[in-house]
Amino acid sequence: MEQARKALLVALRSALAEVAPDSPVEPAFESPRQASHGDLAITCAMPLARPLKKNPREVAQALVDALRRQPEVDHWVQAFEIAGPGFINLRLSAAAKQSVVREVLRSGEAFGSQPANGQQVMVEFVSANPTGPLHVGHGRQAALGDSMCNLMQTQGWQVHREFYYNDAGVQIATLARSTQARLLGHQPGDPAWPEDAYNGEYIADIAADFAALKTVKADDRATTASGDPQDLDGIREFAVAYLRHEQDLDLRAFGVRFDHYYLESSLYATGRVAQTVQRLVDAGKTYEKDGALWLRSTDYGDDKDRVMRKSAPEGAAQEGGTAASPYTYFVPDVAYHIHKWQRGFVKVINIQGSDHHGTIARVRAGLQAAGVGIPPGYPDYVLHKMVTVMKGGEEVKISKRAGGYVTLRDLIDWTSRDAVRFFLISRKADTEFTFDVDLALKQNDENPVFYVQYAHARICSVLAQYAGPSGGQDLASLDDADLSLLTAPTESALMLKLAEYPLMLTRAAAEHAPHDVAFYLRDTASAFHSYYAAERFLVADAALARARMALLCATRQVLRNALAVLGVSAPEAMKREEMEA
């Protein structure tokens, strides 16, 4: 149907040039809000009415008349309808709808993807300081970030996955002291236990391995324990490497990888923070007040100026910096994003918790004030809300290993990687989400990931029956099937859903909305299940059977492609509760 859409877009451009030669309105199609209204909609008539000094419906009629005068329109459009204040609804011809099947079969895994655009995008996500196991909020961020990367790749971007963390700040110092306390024989509740210590069982595990002189290796660092309880620097290095290794294991189990790990401490070691501060001072974008250094962030839309360096004793630690950093936490963020730009990333997407909302204005203000050529609005942010976990009808808050929260590993162990990834991507990032463990375990239509995967498995089952045990029917030769036989209403509805896939991907990438892929999968699975209930596939009419096998192969491919964007598997066989209920 891409061929039909492109041909109709050219026709609409010509019609606009005829009806409103000087109009800046771009030709575009939309999907009608209700399927009964048609297959495509044109909304150009309303914005054209005022400059043309005509009624919108009159403009719509002129556009329809101009479209009908173009010969290719007759092939792809069955009917036009002018509705409401001036909407133009198109009902596509059967040939237009059927064409998507052949397009999918010929494109395969590439269906819906765009050619390389020659540009780089960095997606920074998870970025959890190594102070404990990854919690379910990190899991939501991992699902969002990885899906975002896959989504951007479908649109031709060269994608770089980056994990940014602090290995030398206040939280890391607390981690080291907590581990040291365990090495000295203390535990939570003891009088000598540090008041701000981390209480999870993982601290005891780190201490035991440090005492055993073990070596730990993470993707970005490795160290061997000295075993000395007084070696606080060694304990810190070991604990960070240990937890980074644990994070790596959890992320691998979740099917997530990174191209690079970036240390906040390196921003200080390389002088990038100092250089950034000097840039801002030299640009006249800072001032001193009450012993503190302030950024004039209100010049860039922030609601108030922000402190860059607090008034504090020399060498005192500040939130988010290294132990020797006098700067507030957003200053290294500005330096980090300048370095992202310098590395050639013209587009950057940061996926962070909603508690980072206040950071956006000050980081963007700092980047503009630095005067290094970064455009306004850089970087892009996707902020997510936290996750509530329910099990057995009750909220789960405590994990023995973590000490105070449910971990990503808990969710995977209780359900499956597929369920966790699909569930955590199935709502808009900025909405609250409740993860129902019991629902994720159900093998029926109530479980959305099962519902989608079962559609794929059902198709595989029908295709296997068609091919036969000896593979007598060749599924690879369905490209020449007579698609004109696909005229059933459920076939038409399913083909329209398949045709939506490329535009859905483009829109989802542009709007940073990977949840749209999950929505699309549920809708497409629903269209297939309706088709399955309404029609027989292994019919005596060989030509009709081949046409339907072609549609099933195309549907299987699109489901598989979309599931891959979410990092979810496409099983070929599944058991189901309440079979055919």
Return the HEC string of 108-167.
HHHCCCCCCCCCEEEEECCCCCCCCCCEHHHHHHHHHHHHHHHHHHHCCCEEEEEEEECC
* Amino acid code (one letter) for 581: A
> What pLDDT does 399 receive?
62
Tell me the sheet residues that pair with 83: 87
Cβ-in-10-Å burial (0-12, 13-18, 19+) of 368 comes to buried
> What pLDDT does 5 receive?
82
> Is there a contact between 119 and 346 (Cβ–Cβ < 8 Å)?
yes
* Nearest partner of 502 among 106, 155, 238, judged by Cα: 155
* Residues 87-143 pLDDT 10s: 999 989 999 999 999 999 999 999 999 999 999 999 999 999 999 999 999 999 999
Q: Where are the alpha helices (DSSP H) in 324-481?
A: 330-342, 357-370, 408-414, 417-425, 437-441, 448-467
Q: Tell me how far apart the alpha carbons of residues 439 and 266 are, in angstroms, rounded to a whole number.
A: 44
> What pLDDT does 401 receive?
60
* DSSP letter, residue 44: T
Residues 6+ apart with CB under 8 A from 45: 56, 57, 59, 60, 63, 86, 87, 88
Dihedral sign, CA of 493, 495, 498, 503?
A: negative
* Nearest partner of 143 among 566, 475, 449, judged by Cα: 566
> Is there a contact between 283 and 300 (Cβ–Cβ < 8 Å)?
no
The structural architecture, per CATH, of the domain 2-92 is: 2-Layer Sandwich (3.30)
Q: Tell me how far apart the alpha carbons of residues 241 and 523 are, in angstroms, rounded to a whole number.
A: 44
> What pLDDT does 272 receive?
97
CATH of 448-566, one of 1.10.1040.10, 3.30.70.1380, 1.10.730.10, 1.10.287.470: 1.10.730.10
> What pLDDT does 37 receive?
80
Q: How many CB atoms lie within 10 A of CB 316?
A: 13
Question: SS3 for 349?
Answer: strand
Q: Tell me how far apart the alpha carbons of residues 493 and 272 are, in angstroms, rounded to a whole number.
A: 56
* Residues 227-245 pLDDT 10s: 999 999 999 999 999 999 9
> What pLDDT does 470 receive?
59
> Is there a contact between 95 and 103 (Cβ–Cβ < 8 Å)?
no
- For 239-302, the three-class secondary structure string (H helix, E strand, C coil) is HHHHHHHHHHHHHHHCCCCCCEEEEHHHHHHCCHHHHHHHHHHHCCCEEEECCEEEECHHHHCC
> Is there a contact between 5 and 29 (Cβ–Cβ < 8 Å)?
yes
Q: Tell me how far apart the alpha carbons of residues 75 and 482 are, in angstroms, rounded to a whole number.
A: 17
- The tokens of 552 are what? 């099933």
Between the CA of residue 316 and those of 270, 293, 368, 519, what are the distances in Å?
20, 15, 28, 49
Q: What is the CATH number of domain 130-269+385-436?
A: 3.40.50.620
> Is there a contact between 370 and 308 (Cβ–Cβ < 8 Å)?
no
> What pLDDT does 310 receive?
87
CA dihedral in degrees (464, 469, 473, 475; nearest 10)?
40
> Is there a contact between 145 and 240 (Cβ–Cβ < 8 Å)?
no
- For 407-438, the three-class secondary structure string (H helix, E strand, C coil) is EHHHHHHHCCHHHHHHHHHCCCCCCCEEEEHH
State how beta strands 87-92 and 120-124 pair: unpaired
* DSSP letter, residue 30: B
- Rounded to the nearest 5 percent, the helix, strand and coil shares of the chain are 50, 15, 35
329: phi > 0 → left, psi -120 to 50 → alpha, else beta; which?
A: alpha
pLDDT tens string, the chain, 581 residues long: the values are 778 888 899 999 999 999 999 888 888 888 777 777 888 899 999 999 989 999 999 999 999 999 999 888 988 898 999 999 999 999 899 999 999 999 999 999 999 999 999 999 999 999 999 999 999 999 999 999 999 999 999 999 999 999 999 988 889 999 999 999 999 999 999 999 999 999 889 999 999 999 999 999 999 999 999 999 999 999 999 999 999 999 999 999 999 999 999 999 999 999 999 999 999 999 999 999 999 999 999 999 999 999 999 875 444 444 444 445 689 989 999 999 999 999 999 999 999 999 999 899 999 999 999 999 999 999 999 999 999 999 999 999 866 566 668 899 999 999 999 999 999 999 999 999 999 999 999 999 999 999 999 999 999 999 999 988 755 567 778 988 999 999 999 999 999 999 999 999 999 999 999 999 999 999 999 999 999 999 999 999 999 999 999 999 999 999 999 999 999 999 999 977 643 43
State how beta strands 292-295 and 306-309 pair: antiparallel
> What pLDDT does 400 receive?
55
Residues 6+ apart with CB under 8 A from 113: 153, 154, 155, 156, 505
Instruction: Output the pTM of the full model.
Output: 0.88
Tell me the sheet residues that pair with 263: 165
Domain boundaries, the chain: 2-92, 130-269+385-436, 270-342+353-377, 448-566
